[in-house]
Amino acid sequence: MLAVKIAKRSYKRTHLHQDKPANRNTGLMPSISKRGTIMPASPIRRLVPFAEKAKNNGIKVFHLNIGQPDIKTPAVAIEAMHKLDLSVIGYGHSAGLESYRSRLVTYYKGRGINININQLMVTTGGSEAISLAFLSCLDPDDEVIVPEPFYANYYGFASSTGVQVVPLPSDIENGFALPSFSEIEKLITDRTRAIFICNPNNPTGYLYSREELEQLKDIVVRRNLYLISDEVYSEFCYDGAQHISIMELEGIEDHAIMVDSVSKRYSECGLRVGMLLTRNPKIIETVLKFAQARLCPPALGQIAAEASLDTPGEYFKEVNIEYNKRRDFLVKRLNQIPGVFTPMPRGAFYTVAKLPVDDADKFCQWILNDFSYNKQTVMMAPASGFYITPGKGKQEVRIAYVLNIEDLTIAIEILEKALQAYPGRV
């Protein structure tokens, strides 16, 4: 009887839809969803049309706007792709290829993170891991506290899942250090479900100490929250500093969710392979349901990523030395420009710089559209897009030191000349 009732209801609904006259008013357009309307455009990519126009006009553009390393992808990954002998590229497991996940368990144990294969999900980039964490742990209108400035796409992931971002302010003057933990407590409401950090931080390069992580642990355990940590830049730490993962903390097993990716570690941004780690079985169970809806992460990407696990340790030593040189050069050179200030980042490969301009968004567009020096110019990311607090970051830019020092030298000279010529200099 129930099946008959359902069938009749479906039949009635179908006929009502067919009988309804079509909208013939060609002067109107269907409305865009509220979700689509509030979805922010990427501040990192928003100026791409202006960069393309400059290139079409014969101007060379130095890209300091995006975290695309110029470091070579490990040879073992490239070789694995060349050696592929597949007659069919089929679906894989929704949690990721078992061989890859097994090897990742060994990899993480080598980093002091003891997990098993059932506590790890392979995702379509770290981006999907964040979205799946939001979908699995937070409901629409729940709140997540995020130190600000933060990677711009975090706000996009939150918007697309209906989650409300509550910014925890930090300032360039004190190197974007966290405020007192009493300030974090003040932001917690009955709608707060998680605290979300990026360690090392994009865009600031801030690196969390063990003491800070232990204090965050105490808050989330006491207030029964989740602690989500984006750790995709964990290899990029400087001045002898060591990265501490939240998965190394004790007593936080049910609260901790770690996000990781191969994009930066192996300079494999285009593979779109990420990971989600948690010891909470309910989270894994829930994430898997969402993952099944997208079927599986990229098979070819996982093959290359698995091969990358054989990358020799010397590769990372050389990469770290190279980024250390770039960071030291860039920070010193920026701070030599009159009116410019940037703190010393301790991780990742970004820095936020304060410029003597009226509006960094206008300046970043102007330097692409109206300025060149020796037929060259620079593309940067306006930092306002990494804040949601109105007015914050208005004079700041994020600069990615992903170019070699020779190119960085030219790029900073261009920036200095542009600041001298910019009509909105302050």
**Domain range annotation of the chain:** 38-72+314-421, 75-82+92-308
Asked if 380 and 398 count as a contact pair (C-beta separation under 8 A), the reply is yes
Asked if 232 and 264 count as a contact pair (C-beta separation under 8 A), the reply is yes
- 75-82+92-308 — its CATH code? 3.40.640.10
Q: What is the pLDDT of residue 27?
A: 63
Residue with tokens 């996000």: 259
Report how far residue 99's alpha carbon sits from residue 85's, in angstroms, rounded to the nearest whole number.
17
* Structural tokens at position 228: 């989500």
CATH class of the domain at 38-72+314-421: alpha beta
Burial of 127 (0-12, 13-18, 19+ CB in 10 A): buried
- Contact partners, residue 393, CB within 8 Å, separation at least 6: 149, 352, 360, 382, 383, 384, 385, 386, 387
Q: What is the pLDDT of residue 7?
A: 40
Asked if 384 and 396 count as a contact pair (C-beta separation under 8 A), the reply is yes
* pTM, two decimal places: 0.91
Encode the chain in three state secondary structure.
CHHHHHHHHHHHHHHHHHHCCCCCCCCCCCCCCHHHHHCCCCCCCCCHHHHHHHHHCCCEEEECCCCCCCCCCCHHHHHHHHCCCCCCCCCCCCCCCHHHHHHHHHHHHHCCCCCCHHHEEEECHHHHHHHHHHHHHCCCCCEEEEEECCCHHHHHHHHHHCCEEEEEECCHHHCCCCCCHHHHHHHCCCCEEEEEEECCCCCCCCCCCHHHHHHHHHHHHHCCCEEEEECCCCCCECCCCCCCCHHHCCCCCCCEEEEEECCCCCCCHHHCCEEEECCCHHHHHHHHHHHHHCCCCCHHHHHHHHHHCCCCHHHHHHHHHHHHHHHHHHHHHHHHCCCCECCCCCECCEEEEECCECCHHHHHHHHHHCCCCCCEEEECEEHHHHCCCCCCCCCEEEEECCCCHHHHHHHHHHHHHHHHHCCCEC
* Structural tokens at position 422: 């910019």
* Radius of gyration in angstroms for the set of CA atoms belonging to the chain, rounded to a whole number: 24
* Structural tokens at position 269: 């941004």
Structure confidence by residue, pLDDT tens digits, 156-186: 999 999 999 999 999 999 999 999 899 999 9
Q: Which residues of the chain have pLDDT under 50?
A: 1-21
Q: What is the pLDDT of residue 4?
A: 40
Single out the residue of 304, 239, 236, 294 nearest to residue 270, CA to CA.
304
Asked if 269 and 73 count as a contact pair (C-beta separation under 8 A), the reply is no
Q: What is the pLDDT of residue 26?
A: 57
* Structural tokens at position 89: 């590229």
Instruction: Say what the alpha-carbon torsion angle 219, 221, 223, 229 is, to the nearest 10 degrees.
Output: 60
